[in-house]
Amino acid sequence: MKKISVLVILFVLGLSFSTFAQSTDFFATKWEISVAGTPNGDVKFVTKLERKDGKLTGELSLPADPAAPKIPISNLEETAEKIVLYFSAQGYDLSLDLTKVDNDNLKGTLMNMFEAKAVRVKE
């Protein structure tokens, strides 16, 4: 009976450690972000968020225009369930709030006005 109890405890601890490890780097991956209804129409961004020195960083690119310069993310706020990306485009300082929906999807808004969705890119 003691062996079974020890095995159950080890199993539960193993699950909690693997869940914690996944949650700390949940956002650190490649995302395809779609923003609907902007003045320039629907916009798609691709970003690869990376953790450097404990902080998430990255830049946005426009897959529709590969020659366009990449847009640096000037600031990034992160919680367990949400990220906020700050960047400048066409002379405007913008914020993109994205909240976790499930393991591969995020949803939110650009400047609290335009609906945004993000999908994890499987590489």
pLDDT in tens, 9-34: 656 666 555 444 444 589 999 999 99
As to burial, measured by CB atoms within 10 angstroms (0-12 exposed, 13-18 middle, 19+ buried), residue 15 is exposed
List, in order, residues 6 or more apart from 68 with CB less than 8 Å away.
61, 62
DSSP string, 76-106: EEE-SSEEEEEEEETTEEEEEEEEEEETTEE
Delineate the domains of the chain, giving CATH numbers in brackets.
27-120 (2.40.128.120)
Identify the pLDDT of residue 75.
Answer: 96
Across-strand partners of 109? 97, 115
Name the phi and psi angles at 34, rounded to 5. -115, 130
Q: Letter for the amino acid at 112?
A: N
pLDDT grade for 35, boundaries at 50, 70 and 90? very high
The structure's pTM equals 0.78
| 59-95 confidence digits (pLDDT tens) | 999 999 989 999 999 999 999 999 999 999 889 999 9
Q: How many CB atoms lie within 10 A of CB 42?
A: 11
